[in-house]
Structure 1
Amino acid sequence: MPNRARGTRLTCRSLAAAASAALIALVLAPTGAQGATPARESRPVYSYDDAIRESVWVDTRLDGDGDGRTDRVAVDIVRPREAAQRGRKVPVVMDASPYYACCGRGNESQRKTYDADGNPVQFPLYYDNYFVPRGYAFVAVDLAGTNRSDGCVDVGGRSDVQSAKAVVDWLNGRARAYTSRSGGERASARWSTGATGMIGKSYDGTVANGVAATGVRGLKTIVPIGAISSWYDYYFAQGAPLYNSGPEWLSDYVESPEARERCQAVQQRLVDGAPRSGESTPLWAERDYVPDAGNVRASVFAVHGMQDLNVRAKHFGQWWDALADNGVERKVWLSQTGHVDPFDFRRAEWVRTLHRWFDHYLLGYDNGIDREPMADIERAPDRWSTDRLWPPRTTATAALRPNTGTKPGVGALSLKPARPGATETFTDDPRLDETDWAAAVDTATPAKAGFITRPLGRDLRLSGSSRVTVTATPSTTSAHLSAVLVDLGPDTIRDYAASGEGITTLAERTCWGASTTGDSSCFKETKARTIDVGHTVFSRGWADLGGYKPDALTPGKAYTVTLDLHASDHVVPAGHRLALILAGTDQDLIDPPDTTPRLSLDLARTAAKLPVVGGASAFARAVAGPVPVPTDSRLGGVAAPRQIRPIPGGSTR
């Protein structure tokens, strides 16, 4: 539990002095030691104030900037002095980031700070404050080309991944490090057990995914938060561009000023290898970690916002499925937020769970966390459920079919396939987005085709990743498609599209660990920011009608494409309706094509394959049952969430 910043707070030094010798012996005893009681939780018995703070530069064995010298990455370390004095080795919590100097980390954009001699003073976030007193080292790595490191940023490529992997190798005695950027004395990591856990949000978590995919020994666990699994899928959706820029924008954004001068060749390679046509190139293949999930030795504790419109939940979904296929030990939290760290939407429970996770995988404590439910899902703001397995074992694909409805321009969604020749048409209108379509789903409008179930007689749960196969004939040489799943009915949700993406930051602070003058453990509290809505878009996906091929379409020719929708876990309550909407440009979420196409949908060759808990039979029961009488007073006066455009690249922090 946290200490309140306004109250009296014991320093880590006083806590250590007050700890009994028996407690220290218990904490430091290895699990299963002869005659010792197995430890279940590390305790704050070390002084944070007296901790060793140092910097080393690790040799990456790469020369990304082409200066004829191997690149060295800066590594700032804080570790317990008492353990070093007793010759006791400690495990490592590590956050490798490009953001430590340019942009900051966390809700308060904290940066690294140094004293006049260049020694580290502030380590952003709470990992150091909380875990160092409990017998861990915290290691903050500047990716190549950022802050005090050599080399160049290559946005998820070999340089980024090797920057962090080399540090894991050094911690395990397989790489060289020095006490200064230019060389100096050799630096040893004999103080480390080698057991490393990588953690981080967004770009930082993405690097953790990439390092784990190398299979590096010594990396025991990763905790990727809102992380990318394939960089192509960050910039494109099956051929449709998601931003009006490419990876060169992000590399320029995070690189140090001197790196920008020496890394022009790398910048040009990013431009050349990532054409705005959406073609899948070798550059993107190098930055796709999903095919290498079989190399992962580390356990994975993934966290993702199901309404994250920056690093969209497709990244989590495809990574999770690949890890599952390869038998990787894993756990997940899925929230209703956007691109938000769990420290800012479920703070106390998050710190408690993360503590137990690292204790188990880095210290070897048998605390039972590996036997607890696999998934925590946020069902409503601050209301969570758990699942022993995720998706639940009874989840099966239900193929739902769009069909013409009884009302002109408003289609039906059921298990029954459409008759051959049945069609619906729409014209792309880049001024509209998914919330506009959903608000008008019961009305025939020219910019979308909507298909709706009857009101459900019982709850219907969708858990996992959906796919929608569409056959459409364009009127022009280019066309983009959007497919969205909508829960039609009143609800109170986190306002993911507002500033804060589902949270409001408060003035009050709580403290998580020990503090020093230059590094406080106290952070602003948050609360859920909510909104009453009349419908909820809970999954979406986009694609170019031609898929990954940048060739021009042939007007009048039918094309079939399967859209991968973002992973989600959503319950459509009894009395609500489920809708599938097909349209063109989703304003501010994908870029429009260079023409304004009219598309004719072949409904007999269009289907949505949804992960329904209970499968098709559960869907059939839900639509066949009696509809409950609505009692919710929020049927009137509700609104759709406001839509925001994510900032490309820079907002990944």
Structure 2
Amino acid sequence: MKSSKKLILSVVCLVLVQLCPIDSRAQKEPAKPFFENGEAQIVKAFEDPAYWIREDLWVETEFDSDGDGLLDRMHVDVTRPRQTESEGLKLPVVYNSSPYFAGTAGNNREFFWDVRHEIGEKPTQHVHPPEIQRRGKRPIISKGHVSTWVPRGYVVVHSSSPGTGLSDGSPTVGGDNESLAPKAVIDWLCGRAKGYKTRRGDEEVEAYWSTGKVGMTGTSYNGTLPLAAATTGVEGLEAIIPVAPNTSYYHYYRSNGLVRSPGGYLGEDVDVLFDFIHSGDLDKRAFARKTVRDDEMKNGQDRITGDYNDFWAGRDYLNDMEPMKAALLMSHGFNDWNVMPEHSYRIYEAAKAKGIPTQIYYHQNGHGGPPPISMMNRWFTRYLFGVENGVENDPKAWIVREDDERDKPTPYKDYPNPDASPVTFFLTSGAPAHGALVTVQPSEQANETLVDNYSFSGEALAEAEITEHRLMYVSPELKEELHLSGKSKITIKAASSKPAVNLSVYLVSLPWNNGRRVKITDNIITRGWADLQNYKSLRESQPLKPGTFYEITFELQPDDQVIKAGQQIGLMIFSSDKDFTLHPKPGTELTVDLNGTSIEIPVVGGADAYNKAIQ
């Protein structure tokens, strides 16, 4: 009897299971993004690359920059979770564009400009490198950012910029087509432009899986292109995170009228960068070399005077920011002497003035270095998913302090530190050893003269106790640490023994290395360069009359640094900078009028904090 009851009960249970299935796979909801603490979390169903969909296509632009009479098409790849196909899931996009994806010409100095010549002298034309052989196989253009963002519920898109890889067009290194190309891809992601399965075919591809919300990020040139796209004002580009972006090619290759190379790339210029990235269609390269490199760039870049002109103005994104509205999170290193920290600062300031949601992250290292993933995640979560996580109310500035890890920045109300104010320092004589930096205008001082010699690096000159090749002025020893934040500004009154002279300025911390074996650049606070011939105008230099004094004022690179107790702040003035400027024949004399020379240094707490630190 009991066994019969058990049998009946088992049959009833089986029927109920069939009528009301309890299989967890049938009950679970479709995979979708979810959020904790204002950040998109990794979704297990999106995590396995074996289930990602990868495809490539070409997006048609509004321009023809390779002269073939057809609108250029940009090569694009897409990586997305399979649920965008199987479940109709729509997701926002993290987009990365680059001229580097298909390979480069390499950094062989043989193909750079020769810097060993007099200032103002026409340089010898450099040799161009061999043709770049495109690398990579379809459909994957790049794997960058994919493992970070696809598991968190984003589609990741890459594109090769004009004249590179399988994209049509000509590289212009900051020209309009490099802004309009990513704009076209964003238009396609938002349903406003056409994509095609092949480079010249007519079978269309639609981004039906896109929500129409796009964020861009990247480093260096790849960080420049998000800003380039944002300056078009394209709808759908909601947020950008440029890392160490080049925001002005003049500021990259020139400094206050001076021909000045980026650190590590002595003799590079905009036409060299053109050759470095030109990996596009072999049959169309001749047109780009002739029209862009040899005609436009050769004349426009002007390595003879170093003056600012319309060519450079057209490659300065600060001039194009009026339409921009994408939320901006900048990232840069204070010791980036390749793409220097002014590049991010100038755009950050302009974006704030426009009322755009803006934050800046600075670290103490060199080139590159994105914000911590948590910061990026909060930024994209807020502006691409629309999650109200309050990121727009977070502190504006995040700065990694000298001894901290990069993922542990210190928050500040803004950058520069709002509590910083300029302290003016004057000079007292002491050459060829050290003079003094003082905050009270001294009595009449004698002029001091240095002799130019590019053979010595800036670091070597700063470390030397006595040398005729630089002038050095130092503060009293700090009894307490001193926080500097912002841009120093120097006014120099000087005369040259020749019609042109390099002018280099370093702010350093002494004694060198503070008795410790650390990186030599740790003692560099900030740097600046200028052409004394541009004392009146950045657009028009004037030859100097030997022996005549001229006054010029210019800013050094932005910085935020805590100078430790026991150190002195040193102002070093010299001429040719071995690692950055042209190398004219040694021997030019640069004479500085100390009575007409001063420097403003931004000190947190102002003069009171400085006076307290030296007492």
Q: How does 1:481-492 map to 2 (within 5 A)?
A: 481-489=503-511
Q: Relative CO higher for 1 or 2, CA cutoff 8 Å, sep ≥ 6?
A: 1
Q: Which SS does the other structure have where 1:560 is aligned?
A: strand
1:574 and 2:565 equivalent? yes
Q: Quote the Cα distance in structure 1 between the aligned partners of 2:490 and 2:25.
A: 59
Partner residue in 1 for 2:250 = 232
Report SS of the residue matched to 2:213.
strand
1:330 and 2:358 are equivalent in the alignment: yes
The verdict on how the C-alpha distance between 1:26 and 1:195 changes in structure 2, with shifts beyond 3 A counting, is closer
Counterpart of 1:455, as a letter, is E
Q: Give the CA deviation at 1:40.
A: 4.7
Could you tell me whether the CA contact under 8 Å between 1:418 and 1:603 is conserved in 2?
no
- Aligned with 1:413 (options 437, 451, 475): 437
Where do 1:216-255 residues align within 5 Å? 216-243=234-261, 244-255=267-278
- The residue that corresponds to 2:16 in the other structure is none
- Structure 1: distance between partners of 2:461 and 2:420: 29
The alpha-carbon deviation at position 317 of structure 1 amounts to 2.5
Q: Relative to structure 1, is the Cα distance of residues 196 and 21 closer, same or farther in structure 2, using a 3 angstrom cutoff?
A: farther
Q: What is the match of residue 468 of structure 2?
A: 446
Structure-2 residue corresponding to 1:261: 286
Q: CA deviation at 1:412?
A: 0.9
Counterpart secondary structure, 2:202: strand
1:135-150 equivalences in 2 (<5 Å): 135-150=153-168
Check the 8 A contact 1:380/1:492 in 2, yes or no.
Answer: no
Asked if 1:402 is matched to 2:399, the reply is: no
Which residue matches 2:67? 66
Amino acid at match of 2:287: R
SS state at 1:290 partner: helix
Deviation at 1:226, TM superposition (A): 1.4
Superposed, 1:335-354 pairs within 5 Å as 335-342=363-370, 350-354=372-376
- Residue 297 of structure 1 is matched in structure 2 by 325
Distance 1:64 1:493, change over 3 A: farther
One-letter code of the match for 2:40? E
Provide the rounded CA distance (Å) in 1 between the counterparts of 2:183 and 2:482. Answer: 43
Structure 2 Cα separation of the partners of residues 112 and 193 of structure 1 = 32
Q: Which runs of 5+ in 2 are unaligned?
A: 1-22, 107-133, 262-266
Secondary structure, in 3 states, of the residue corresponding to 1:379?
Answer: coil
Partner of 2:531: 544
SS at match of 1:146: coil
Matched, 1:365 2:393: no
Distance 1:381 1:133, change over 3 A: closer
* 8 Å Cα contact 2:463-2:512 kept in structure 1: no
Deviation of 1:278 after TM superposition, in Å, equals 0.7
Residues 25 and 74 of structure 1, relative CA distance in 2, 3 Å threshold: closer
- Provide the rounded CA distance (Å) in 1 between the counterparts of 2:520 and 2:375: 32
Q: CA deviation at 1:294?
A: 4.4
1:67-82 equivalences under 5 Å are 67-82=68-83
Name the structure 2 match of 1:604: 595
* C-alpha spacing 1:18/1:278, structure 2 compared with 1 (3 Å): farther
User: In the alignment, what sits opposite 2:111?
Assistant: none
* TM-superposition CA deviations, 1:453-485 (whole Å, max 9, x none): 000122111112222121111111111111111
Which one-letter code corresponds to 1:537 in the other structure? I
Partner of 1:178: 196
Give 3-state SS (helix, strand or coil) of 1:207's partner: helix
Match of 1:432 among 456, 464, 473: 456
Map of 2:56 onto structure 1? 55
Dislocated runs of 4+, deviation >6 Å: 17-23
Q: CA deviation at 1:582?
A: 0.7
Q: Is the 8 A contact 1:27 1:42 kept in 2?
A: yes
Root mean square deviation, CA, Å:
2.9
Q: CA deviation at 1:422?
A: 3.7
Classify 1:444/1:493 alpha carbon distance in 2 versus 1 (closer, same or farther; 3 Å). closer
Does 2:191 align with 1:207? Answer: no
The change in CA–CA distance for 1:492 and 1:324 in structure 2 (over 3 A counts) is farther
Aligned to 2:10: none
Distance in 2, matches of 1:19 and 1:425, equals: 82
Q: Secondary structure at the match of 2:602?
A: strand
Alignment correspondent of 2:575: 584
Report the equivalent of 1:42.
41
Report the secondary structure of 2:524's partner residue.
strand
Letter in 2 for 1:271: K
Counterpart residue number, 1:85 = 86
CA gap of 1:597–1:222, structure 2 versus 1, over 3 A, is same
> What's the counterpart of residue 185 of structure 2?
167
1:469 and 1:234 mapped to 2: Cα distance?
22
In structure 1, C-alpha distance between the alignment counterparts of 2:411 and 2:297, rounded to whole Å: 41
CA distance in 2, matches of 1:473, 1:18: 83
Deviation at 1:414, TM superposition (A): 2.0
CA displacement at 1:123 relative to structure 2: 2.8
Specify the code of the residue in structure 2 equivalent to 1:170: W
Q: TM-score, normalised by structure 2?
A: 0.83
Deviation at 1:577, TM superposition (A): 0.6
Residue in structure 1 matched with residue 489 of structure 2 by the alignment = 467
* Partner SS state of residue 182, structure 1: coil
Q: Which amino acid aligns with 1:618?
A: A
2:74 and 2:167 in contact (8 A); partners too: yes
2:299 corresponds in structure 1 to: 272
Aligned-partner Cα distance in 2 for 1:482–1:319: 25
Seen in structure 2, the aligned counterparts of structure 1 residues 423 and 66 have a Cα distance that, compared at 3 Å, is same
1:4-19 to 2 correspondences below 5 Å: none
Return the match for 2:147 from 129, 133, 136: 129
SS at match of 1:470: strand
Instruction: Please give the alpha-carbon distance, in whole angstroms, between the structure 2 residues aligned to 1:363 and 1:461.
Output: 38
Match of 1:563 in 2: 554
Give the C-alpha shift of residue 420 in structure 1: 4.4
1:106-125 superposed Cα distances (whole Å, 9 cap, x missing partner)? xxxxx9743xxx333x6332
Give the Cα separation in 1 of the matches to 2:381 and 2:29: 16
Q: Which runs of 5+ in 1 are unaligned?
A: 1-16, 32-36, 106-110, 343-348, 495-529, 626-653
Aligned equivalent of 1:388, options 395, 401, 412: 412
| SS of match in other structure, 1:308 | coil
Instruction: Mark the CA change 1:325 to 1:489 in structure 2 (over 3 Å): closer, same or farther.
Output: farther
1:95 aligns with: 96
Q: Deviations over 1:62-93 (max 9, x none)?
A: 11111111111111111122133333321110
TM-score using structure 1 length: 0.78
8 A Cα contact 2:496 2:548, kept in partner: yes
C-alpha spacing 1:311/1:404, structure 2 compared with 1 (3 Å):
same
Partner of 2:477: 455
8 Å CA contact 2:30–2:87 kept in 1: the answer is no
2:347 maps to amino acid: W
Flag the structure with larger Rg.
2
Percent identity of the aligned residues? 33
CA gap 1:129/1:60 in 2 versus in 1, 3 angstroms: same
- Residue 534 of structure 1, CA deviation: 9.9
Structure with a larger share of its residues in strand: 1
C-alpha separation in 1, matches of 2:552 and 2:89: 58
